Amino acid sequence: MNPQRDPAALSRLGWTIAALVMLWPVLVITRFELATLFEAGNLATIGRFLAGFWPPETSHDFLTLLARATVETLAMATAGIALAWLLALPMAFALTRSLSPAYLAGRRIRPLGAAMRALVRALLLILRGVPELVWALVFVRVFGLGPAAGVLALGVTYGGMLGKVYAEILESADQRPVRALLEAGCGRLPALAYGLVPGCAQELVSYTVYRWECAVRASVVMGFVGAGGLGQLMDQSMKMLNGGEVATILATFLALVLSADAISARLRGELS
């Protein structure tokens, strides 16, 4: 046998071919034809559309509006993640089976505890299953136009996401410290704080900051339904066919995403 030959090469090739075969009907259903993008008329249309973005708008009045909308977007995303964090913590705590002394002892969890976990799991599914844009449409009708609806929409949706992932991270961590604390008579909250969190703090913080970055992007989209911020300003500029303003807004949005990525990297470095 040739030592340089990969014994799993034929298996990988077979699975790759199978995936491509399965992908074909998906492309047919979605009517995806890449060649359409490169037709002469379509390329000319795209070129005229992109040319309208230059030069970016730099007037003092518009930059003042842009700064106010940027602060509003950051405030919406940050407040939304803070609300999501407050919703996620107790639900993740309730879902983490490794904090149950009965589970660690190998005994069957009581029916009441199992029912409570099932209820929390269903609640998390509902919260994250409904897109934040739908929640924003609901809350806009309650609070009117403005960032308050966006904050609640982000808090509800991302609370479901954070709660689910937090519980999975905590359950996948090293269980020996929390087991030792619980067997020594420690309470569940101290066992969580000193037995589980230190071992997975980097992953928890990294995912939270990532979700904050996603919240910044989502807050821009929700602005199109009246939740304020950069999205609402972009919607107004696009309706006025002002490509220069749109280009400046997009550049600001890109800077926000890059800043969030830099903050995430810095926090991961501090916790490593």
Contact 224, 173 (CB under 8 A): no
Convert the pLDDT of each residue in 163-204 to its tens digit.
Answer: 999 988 888 877 777 777 777 777 777 877 787 788 888 888
106: pLDDT strictly greater than 70: no
Nearest to 231 by CA among 141, 119, 154: 154
End-to-end alpha carbon distance in the chain: 44
pLDDT at site 24: 83
pLDDT at site 47: 82
pLDDT at site 1: 47
What is the C-alpha separation between 222 and 205, in angstroms, rounded? 25
Structural domains in the chain plus CATH codes = 9-51 (no CATH), 60-271 (1.10.3720.10)
Q: For the residues 224-243, what does the mean pLDDT come to?
A: 81
Reduced to 3 states (helix: H, G, I; strand: E, B; else coil), residue 49 is: helix
pLDDT at site 5: 67
pLDDT at site 157: 92
Share of the chain above pLDDT 70, in %: 91
pLDDT at site 60: 87
pLDDT band at 108 (very low <50, low <70, confident <90, very high): low
Look over the chain and give the mean of its residue pLDDT values, rounded to a whole number: 81
Positive/negative CA dihedral, 48, 51, 53, 57: negative
Nearest to 249 by CA among 238, 262, 263, 260: 238
More confident residue, 87 or 243: 87
Q: For the residues 223-235, what does the mean pLDDT come to?
A: 79
Q: Cβ contacts of residue 108 below 8 Å, gap of 6+?
A: 102
pTM assigned to the model: 0.77
Reduced to 3 states (helix: H, G, I; strand: E, B; else coil), residue 106 is: coil
What is the C-alpha separation between 159 and 202, in angstroms, rounded? 19
Both tokens of residue 209?
Answer: 């900051």
